[in-house]
Amino acid sequence: MMQDFVFTSESVTAGHPDKLCDRISDAIVDRFLALDPFARVEAECAVATGTLFLACRFASAVRLDLPSIARETIAQAGYTGGAFDAASCSILTSLAESTTAARLELDETELDDAGIEAIPATHQVTAFGFACRQTPELMPLPIVLAHRLARGLERARAELPWLMPDGKVQVAVEYRARRPFRIYALALTAALDPDRRPATGELDEALRAGVIEPCLAEVEPRPDPATRILVNPGGPFLVGGPARHAGLTGRKTAIDTYGEYARHSGAALSGKDPARIDRIGAYAARWAAKNVVATGLAESCEVQLSWTIGLARPVSLAVETFGTGRIGEEAIAQRLERVFDFRPAAIVRAFDLRRLSVRNPGGFFARLAAYGQVGRTDLDLPWERLDRVEALATG
């Protein structure tokens, strides 16, 4: 296992075309669940130039104007004029309504054990959860810093009117003995208004002062004199967004999870209701891994869970601690099996997933679409809670 290396992760702003598609897909999920907690929804988007294609399969007691939800979300991302405009872009739809019999009006919070066992996984997936001691969030440092800077780039639009909604950040961290040692390089790519774009020197100075310095002022390690800082290294990036490059729901799964520092299933997380085990299984695996690390059973932990169609219980639960475990990996896996219930209905019950959209009028799942679906500190995510530490510690 390599001890010294440089690792890079990237994040993008909420106006990046891929993330715009994720947010539209999750806004649709939110709207259905807010009015019908038992709705079944699968929503996917593709966007390019001035056209959005929306495909949605649903079974629900409510009827929604899905194109209006898409336009509202596009406007929230900042596309309210120019080459791609929330009001005038073309929206093509492929909508299919399933019978309401496809809905399971079973409240998981009221089911007994037999009821939980009777609800199997309806999709196959192998999901991975990861946690480590590199940051207070128990996440890999490169993706945490990338998300910080991408958020900062979006916030800077309030002060820098020539910034467009689309942006990307890459962070390279140098590791020594598998621990973060220094920030090797930072690269910011910001879309610019072609009519108001600043000179190269002004752009570099504005993003250093308005994004990099405030975002990294309280983190360790901080950039040092040898850190390479690159602003729009590919040259002028004008307009950006769907007018410049295409987007697709579920294409940024590494950004949604661990910045490729750890494995993930590859399945899209956005655009799926709580019955989809490929989405909620990723959250459950993170929940387990984070509690293992917080308990002190390992410095780094990956939890692998596999479900097969037709069975409620995972067919596989495996733990990898990368040589950092205080006890054996099999012993940790045995504790996880005793402490956590990884059946789909039990996960929905533990996280109360059907009611999160009701309790968050501005949307719950749509807020996950950008800046990570795990490791968040700005949202009260049930899979980030350290509520099983005591049970894991006692075995």
Q: Please name each of the domains of the chain with its CATH number.
A: 5-11+140-240 (3.30.300.10), 114-134+253-261+275-394 (3.30.300.10)
Mean pLDDT of 179-204: 93
Task: Say yes or no to pLDDT of 395 above 90.
Answer: no
Query: How much is the pLDDT for 8?
Result: 98
Report strand pairing: 125-132 vs 5-12: unpaired
Q: Helix, strand, or coil here: 204? A: helix
Report strand pairing: 51-59 vs 40-48: antiparallel
User: Which of 251, 281, 285, 346 lies closest to 17 in space, CA to CA?
Assistant: 251
Mean pLDDT of 62-80: 97
Task: Say yes or no to pLDDT of 354 above 60.
Answer: yes
- Using CA atoms of 128, 134, 140, 144 in order, give the dihedral in degrees to the nearest 10: 130
Q: What is the CA radius of gyration of the chain?
A: 22
Query: How much is the pLDDT for 101?
Result: 53
Confidence of residue 226 (pLDDT cuts 50, 70, 90): very high
Under 8 Å between Cβ of 273 and 40: yes
Distance CA 270, CA 373 (A): 9
Query: How much is the pLDDT for 288?
Result: 98
Mean pLDDT of 93-110: 79
Mean pLDDT of 251-258: 97
Mean pLDDT of 223-231: 96
Mean pLDDT (the chain) is: 95
Confidence of residue 102 (pLDDT cuts 50, 70, 90): low
Task: Say yes or no to pLDDT of 149 above 90.
Answer: yes
H/E run at residue 394: helix 389-394
Task: Say yes or no to pLDDT of 2 above 90.
Answer: no
Mean pLDDT of 8-15: 98
Lowest mean pLDDT, pick from 26-40, 84-98, 189-203, 293-307: 189-203
Tokens of 146: 């990338």
| Residues β-bridged to residue 58 | 41, 97
Distance CA 5, CA 175 (A): 5
